[in-house]
Amino acid sequence: MYDVEVSVPGDYLGDVMSDMQGRRAVIMGMNSENGFEKLLAKVPLKEMASYSISLSSITGGRASFTMKFAAYELVPADIQDKLLKEYETSHADEA
């Protein structure tokens, strides 16, 4: 999991929060700073691929984000099942 901090104009906060929740983010908090809303969340690294493009598209380039490693966590069971099936399918010829 990664700690993600998004600085976003208030007009776009709802759209950014919706996008983050679609990325399996856990919203940890929010606060205001220098006319921007700061959204704090924990997000799986896999879900952050191409986030900068999405954030720029949602906000017209008016938001920014930082992220840093927070901790390792177990992968949810439904995603484990999906990954296992993908692995088995891709390695079926080797058996």
The domains of the chain are located at 2-94
Q: What is the pTM of this model?
A: 0.85
The CATH number of 2-94 is 3.30.70.240
pLDDT tens readout for residues 25-82: 999 999 998 889 999 999 999 999 999 999 999 999 999 999 999 999 999 999 999 9
- DSSP assignment string, the chain: -EEEEEEEEGGGHHHHHHHHHHTT-EEEEEEEETTEEEEEEEE-GGGGTTHHHHHHHHHTT--EEEEEE----PPPHHHHHHHHHHHHHHTGGG-
Q: What is the CA radius of gyration of the chain?
A: 16
Query: Above 90 in pLDDT, residue 13?
Result: yes
